[in-house]
Amino acid sequence: MQKLRLRYAKRGRLRFTSHRDIARTFERALRRAGVPMAYSQGFSPHPKVSWVGAAPTGVASEAEYVEVQVVEPVDPAALRAELDAALPPGLDVLEVVESAGGNLPERIDAGAWRLELPGVSPERLTEAVAALLAATSVEVERLTKDGRKVLDVRPALVSAQVEAHSSDAGHDAGDLSQPCGILMTVVRQTTPTVRPDDVLSALRVVADLVPPVPAKATRMAQGRLDDDGGLVDPLTPDRAAEV
């Protein structure tokens, strides 16, 4: 049995699709592409597909990961092309590598995020981020299916810096003058997981920062933290085994 690891992107309007629907879409695409999937045993066999830390609904991503097992050898490059063609625009397969062993989730302990805040000037965002980084603890509330829960955002925050850019929304609307602060941040994977909306809630707590329109979050990368606070690509060991 061969195990393959895929990195895919969730873009555009597909970011509003739930993970359950994305999983179903992937399984249908695997069947259409003729991938010789391995199946579980029992009364209700299902394809051996393992998802790794899926991004929340409403969040775009350039670094989602999934593992699939097949019963016949498959060329990774051919699988990438065939599966990408079988998926709808917005779900884009970026890379496929053969597993070199080990546990993929253990190679991921943090994620890099890009948060666009249309209507918020970079200067205002910089002030708010400075206040967040200066704090030792910032508790926020999250509404869950079990009620409201309180979590501390600050320990999970590895780094945060502000960039200036015109918002995508501003370009689409023809308003090139709209300010848009962009926050680039690295967040540890903790329990419970600190999500992009939690970081925005923390900015509201420490600096009363409330964007006039919803922010757009994109996960740019996942991996293990190195000594400099950067992320090591989780597929690096698999690529090294192919050389």
pTM value is 0.89
**pLDDT value, residue 174:** 41
The CATH code that applies to domain 2-99 is 3.30.70.580
**pLDDT value, residue 146:** 77
Q: Which CATH number fits domain 107-225: 3.30.70, 3.90.660, 3.90.1310, 3.20.14?
A: 3.30.70
**pLDDT value, residue 172:** 42
- Do residues 98 and 2 make contact, with C-beta atoms less than 8 angstroms apart? yes
**pLDDT value, residue 48:** 93
**pLDDT value, residue 44:** 83
Mean pLDDT for back-to-back runs of 10 residues, the chain (243 residues): 95 94 94 92 87 92 96 95 95 96 94 96 96 97 84 95 63 59 95 92 96 95 92 93 76
**pLDDT value, residue 228:** 87
**pLDDT value, residue 164:** 66
